Amino acid sequence: MALNNKDLPGLNFEFWLTKAIEWEQTTTLESQRDVCVHLPKLQQFLMKIHETLKHMNFTAAIKRFPLIGQLLGRLCWNPFVAAFDESQRTLVWCLCCLYSKDPQNPLELKANKWIKNLLCHLFSFPDAGSKEACSFLHRLGCTPSYYYSELLNNMVSSLVTELGELRGNQLNRPAAQGRLLEDRVKDISVLCVPLITMTDVTPLLESLLTYHGYELREILSVHFLEAVNEAFIQKKIALSESAVLVLWLRHLPSLEAAALHLIESLLSSEGRSLEEMEHIIDASLLPRAACHPSIFGVVEEMFKNALLETDGSLKVLTIIRLFTRCFVQVHQKDNGQQKIPLKAYFRYCHPSLVVALLQNPCDMPSTIVCPHLKVVSDMLKLEVEAASTKSLRSVFDPWFLLTHFGDWVDAAAEHLLTSATDTSDALLWLLAFYYTPYNGCNSRTQTLLEARVVADRLRSIVGKINLSSQVLEDAVTLKTGVCHPGTIQLIKHLTINVLLFSSNGPKIAKDYITQMTQTEAEASDVSNILAQAARRLRIPGLKNERTMELAQNLLQEIRSGTKDV
């Protein structure tokens, strides 16, 4: 569509550019009156400009109107023009038309940056160099902060109202017209991209996130969804839980990005306590969002990938355990509405096994914990043996379930040192499976043989009065040569329990822990085991204050030693 004098009788592009320059060069009362007189016709002109621009890309628009940037820029910086709701709104639409969703060259990249800055100017304080604008606003009798705050609030309120009207009328419109309205909604979402981190824009963001069109296709800009998610996970904006849930449900990459960001931030959080890590997990809103089965399934896949990529890192196992604990707590607290039973979230394993693991060992009398552990171990063994002729996934699934409820692993390691003979084999098998899930039948048998030798030795020295570091070292040393890494981790776990729970272990604990943590990797592994023990012993009602303090002191010693290195 050509834009010339015939299309706009009595008006032309050059005329308005000249006017914009005149208005910019003077702030006299006559000039201000001239702006007011011309505002209605200026609005008509801008609407024509918008109708033309929305059918063009940036390159075509610049070729057609080489001075379009000058005109829009000058008008946006004119307080009287920008204060008029309709002109301000149309200016914004024109700028959005020029914004390149997928910039193809340096010019479009530069233009995008200019457009973002201009939009931010429209809804933020004037910069220090805008003396004319500040002077003008003071003559109007208002401060710049009030003027720009009201300008932004008016814009947000207007667009939220418009979205509400579109949502209310969409069912009564023909499909073709409905699609045009959806395009308008998408345009609004593009408009918001440079304004996302401005607090006053939040109502508009949430209104957009909860807007759905006629069809299943996504009507919001992908750039908008990605930008909102990035701002949220970086703590630059605060959104309601319902808005975040909708965002993650309608845009899978945003959910995956949020889960990956959480995992990476926790993996890099050296020196943080488990309580601090739990706080980070809760603040991410992922445990609450995971009450929706679809979101839970995606987060589970992210955890699986993290385990496979780190070869079962103890740090990742700790993150999974903490997340599950937060998720279960949120699920149990949410009593206001119907909810899916917890066992239904872990469909990849037998429901009886899930129910058995969902119980917390700290909530049981100590006399019941060991028999319950034997039941859990027997059920796990049954699933693994039944899957021996199937894929590795069939073995991975019960192990992955066990990683969620690692408190039972800690309980098995603790009770193995004092349990009766008829349950020790079951506890040892559970520990061997946890630390060496992919050992084949023969390999796991070898692991069990090695671990049993060490376990029997440790059981025999737990009550020794003259327990020394050398006696403990002799007990955990195998003559079979190189062991599987999982076997080493299992022995390490049992050794730490001897130091914590035996009568004379605390006397040699500090020196022996120093011996066990010569490398950064060893320090990390031992820290994870001690941190879990300290947290478990902190539960009110358990008479283990001295042991808890010992675990915390040893943990602090390791962290101090790591900092010194």
Alpha carbon of 485 to those of 315, 316, 528: distances in Å? 15, 16, 16
| pLDDT value of position 2 | 40
DSSP-derived secondary structure letter, 504: S
pLDDT at 536: 83
| CB contact at 8 A, 516 and 495 | yes
239 in Cβ contact with 206 (< 8 Å): yes
Q: Which candidate, 236, 161, 254, places its Cα nearest to that of 203?
A: 161
Burial status of residue 535 (CB atoms within 10 A of its CB: 0-12, 13-18, 19 or more): buried
Alpha helices (H) in 193-292, listed in sequence order: 202-209, 222-233, 241-250, 252-267, 274-283, 286-289
- Residue 49, C-beta contacts closer than 8 angstroms, at least 6 positions apart: 3, 68, 90, 94
Contact 262, 280 (CB under 8 A): yes
CB atoms within 10 A of CB 50: 18
Please give the Cα distance from 152 to 96 (Å, whole number). 17
Domain range summary for the chain, segments of one domain joined by +: 337-564
Q: What is the model's pLDDT at position 5?
A: 40
Between the CA of residue 349 and those of 223, 308, 353, 382, 399, what are the distances in Å?
Answer: 39, 19, 7, 11, 10
In the predicted model, residues of the chain with pLDDT beneath 70 are 1-11, 26-29, 85, 123-148, 168-180, 213-215, 334-337, 387-392, 421, 439-443, 480-482, 539-543, 561-565
**Geometric angle at alpha carbon 457, from 452 and 458, rounded to 5°:** 95
The 8-class DSSP code of residue 172 comes to: G
The model's pTM is 0.79
The per-type count for the chain, helices as H runs and strands as E runs, is 29, 0
Buried b (16+ CB within 10 A) or exposed e, 395-428: bbbbbbbbbbbbbbbbbbbbbbbebeeebbbbbb
CA distance 518 to 561: 10
d(CA 384, CA 381): 5
Burial letters 476-494, b for 16+ CB under 10 A, else e: bebeeeebbebbbbbbbbb
Contact call for residues 552 and 531 (beta carbons, < 8 A): no
Look-up: residue for tokens 């947290």?
Answer: 535
> Do 349 and 397 form a contact (C-beta atoms < 8 A)?
yes
3-state secondary structure of 217: coil
The number of CA neighbours under 13 Å toward the Cβ of 372 is: 22
Residue 8: per-residue pLDDT: 40
3-state secondary structure 513-553: HHHHCCCHHHHHHHHHHHHHHHHHHCCCCCCCHHHHHHHHH
- Residue among 539, 536, 534, 537 nearest 553 (CA): 534
Beta strands in 384-516 (DSSP E): none
Query: Between the CA atoms of 431, 484, 455 and 547, what dihedral angle is there, to the nearest 10 degrees?
Result: -70
